Each structure stands twice: as C-alpha cells, then as structure tokens.
Structure 1
Amino acid sequence: MSCTAILNMPRLLQRRLLGVAMILQPNRNLRTFIPTGQNLLKKIQLPLYDKHREMAPVIQLKQGLAKQPWHFRKPIEYPQLTGSDHWRRKMRTVFRVFDLNGDGCITQEDKEEMNRRTAEYMNLDDDKTKTVLNQRRTYWGDEAPDKVFENEFVESHLVKMNEIKFREFWFDILTSRFQMMDLNGDGLISTDEHAAMFYSYKIPTEHSKKVFDILDSNNDGFISMEEFSHAYTEFWYTENPDNIFNECYGPLIDNET
C-alpha cells in the first residue's frame, strides 16, 4: 500500500482524487461526485453488473448510505503500534498476497496481474479494465519503487502507520481502496466484487464469503464504506490475535520466528 505520491500532493488535489464517492446515475452519461463526509439516505436507481451476464446492466433499487454518525475509532485514537509478532504476521500475509508470482518482491508485474485477474473474474470489457488499471495506478502511486521486499514492506509500514500525518490521511487512503473494489461505482461492495478482489490476489474465493459476512455487519448483502473503513482500520491498527477482522486479506500465513 504505497501512499508516497498521494501524501506529497497538494491537499486540494488529494481530496479531488480520493475524497469522493462516485455514484453512477442510470440513463445519463454522467457521474455525480459526492463528498465522502456527506452521508445520504435515499433510494438510488443504479446500474448493477453481474459477472455471469458479462457485465450487462441490471437496474435495481439500492439503499443509499445511512444518514447517521459513523461508529468506529479514528486512526489517531489507536495506540502506537509496537510491531508485535501478530501484527508482523498480518503484514507478511499482505505482502505475500501482493507478491502474486511468489518471487519474494512486489513488482509492477504483480500489480498488472492483479488487474488482469480482476477483469477475468468480472468479465470486464477493455474500457472497464482500463478504468480499473488507472484507479490502481493512482492508489499505488507513480513513485512506488520498482521492487519492494518483505522486510522492507513490514518495517516501512510500522514506521509510516505510527506517523500522525499518515493517520490523519488514513480515511482518504481507504476511500481510494474502496473505489478500487467498487467496480460498478455504486458506493457499495457486492459479494462478486469482494470475491473478485480475493481472486485477483490468488486467494481461494471460498474464503471471500467468510470475510464478506464479517465485514457486512448489518447483513444487508453489501459492504458499505463505513463497514469497510471500520474493518480495515481494525486490521491495520490492532495487534489483538483474536480480532474478528484479522483475515481481511485471507487466512494468515503460518507464524514464523
């Protein structure tokens, strides 16, 4: 999760790139951008996509974001990470998920393969595949190193995630990550979209349902931005071996000394 390029941008540009939730309006070739801090309560008619129908539009009514305060801790409210064995185990798990070809480093080739597998799982056409690729390039940042090795990945995250500036910017990073998973831009992550993420990481998709059900705390069949933010903040900022969100990136690797 390289954020160097984003953190170096002017604040206004950061907000324009990451601080919005995209809602695609039906029957209009338009995209309406709504600030992420603004919650809506309304029925919105949205074009949904079904991977089994080759992304053909399916018009449904879907509940908008709930108009209520968010109930989870902000990153700045978490204690400093100590780099415990359990936390390092989670970071090594994430690294090996991103290292798709298993060569011991994360490279551009790994990222391209993630995109290809996402498109394959969701039957995306060329235009949509290009959109996904551009979103992920923004997320990773143009200044990301050509190769990232495991120890470097773990140690750099321990330092970065304890920085106040990084914690203050955490929600923007999650917004970007959420938009990458929300392939049809409706403001919610479906079971197929979540499974596509696991497939893109070569995590067996049968693990997706278990994790999806944990993240979908209100059992409405979708993961909202609030549910997503709570789960991923807990994953990255806690060191509790019993935390229910420990497998956001699939089963943890075997503990190593």
Structure 2
Amino acid sequence: MNNVRSEAEIRHILSTIPILMYHKVDHHREVGINALPPERFLGHLSWLSENGYQSTTFLDILHRKPLPEKPVIISFDDGYLSVFENAFPAMQTIGFTGVIFVISGFAGKLNEWDVSLNRQRFRHLSPNHIRELAAAGWEIGAHSVTHRALPLLSETQVRREMQESREKIAEWAKQPVISFAYPFGIKTARERQLAKECGFQFGCKGVRGSQSIDVLNLPRIPVYQFETAKHLVQKMKHPLPAAERIKLSLLGLPAYLVPIYQFLFKQELSLDRL
C-alpha cells in the first residue's frame, strides 16, 4: 500500500476538517487582536476536548495516520515563543499537537518585521524550541524568511523566500517541511504555483471561504484575542456561517497595512540582510 494519501483523498478529508489559526498565546497585550491570553486559550482547548475534537496535522493526513472521529487542525502563524511557553504545555496535557508556521529569518529574534504602535515586541522561537516541538509530534511549517507580502516581490525573491525557509526549518526540525502559510494570507496564482514547485504539498491562507478545496490554497479560521470558547461554536460549524466569515474578513483587514509599513519603514527586510 502507498504510504501517502492521494491528493483526491486529502481534498476529501480536508473538506470537512476545521483549521483554526492562532498567533500569540501571551499575557502581554498589544495594539492589535492577535495576542490571546493563555487562560482563554486553555478554555478553547477544554471546549474542543469536551466536544470530542482531537488534533491532527498535515503530516498525519499525508502519511495515512488514522484520523480521529472529530479532527481539528490547530495552527499558529509566525512561530512565537509564547506558543512554546503557553500553548505547547497546555496542549500536551490533553494530548493535542499543532502546526506552527515559522519565519526562518527571525528565529530567536524579536518581531521587528511587524508594526508595533506601543513598542511592544514579541520573540520568535529559537531553533532549539523548534526541535523540541517537532520531537513532541508537532508539525513545523514554513512562513517565509522575512514575512513580506509575496505578491509584491519578484519571482526570484519569492522562490528564495520559500526554498530557503523550507530548507532551514527542515534542518532545525529534523522532519519534512510540507506546509507553507502565505504571509498575511496574501497570494496569487503565481505564489500557489511556486509553492508547489518548491516542494510544498499544503498551502494555507486566511479566512475559510470557498467550498472547493485546493490543497495549496487552504482557508483557515482565525481566532482573535477577545474570542472565548463560546465563539468556537460558530467557528466549528461546517460550512462556516456567512456572518462569521464576514466578521473574520473585516477583523483581518488591518493586517494588510503591514506591507505598507514594511515598504515605508523596513527597507532592511531583505533576504541578504538578515
């Protein structure tokens, strides 16, 4: 028997699996809505567990690992240290694993690529943290080298952002890197094709949308700072209710200002300067 599932099988499986998207799990507040307090995150995990959900990953799905009756993928963008410090132990307690998308050029560094209106900075995972998560069954995905909006870059730059992050993260994690999260969830057909050419088998964007499943353009369900376990009731419905989708789309709009900020104030964000 083939030890990996076919793309058709994977599309069918992913058509009904909710993919949650978190960022920071941190007590420190920010001018933004992506830093979820650890106790609130624990409430989310409790709700998921009590309602019969169990975690899975893209690696598990690809390699024919038996699926739980009610699977959920819990993903984290940007690879923040707070995920290791707060989310990882909480998830380990109930037997959950996650998928964390790492910005390879900022491993162990502060998130200087991002806007910070109150000068609050957050540290990213180090290679050692990445190794420990991978050893505990987490999947480590790539999120580029510099976290820039890929459609604004040349094809050569995009290819480097994908290839170099994939190679470096695989070296740290000691596992295949098969999934990529497009920075800011922004992509065009070009980025999808380049992700495929660079060896990625799964690509993730932002808000869950179309009913048709494209494994390199997978919609996810963002979870924000103020959302409690009660909000998961709507998020876990299939299909995602229109009102929830519109709400999440509107809440995600400020993220599109970050590429403008980077263009104006972060010219040092280049592959050859990190």
Q: Same fold (TM over 0.5)?
A: no
TM-score, normalized by length of structure 2? 0.29
Bigger relative contact order, structure 1 or 2 (CA pairs below 8 A, ≥6 apart): 1
TM-score, normalized by length of structure 1? 0.30
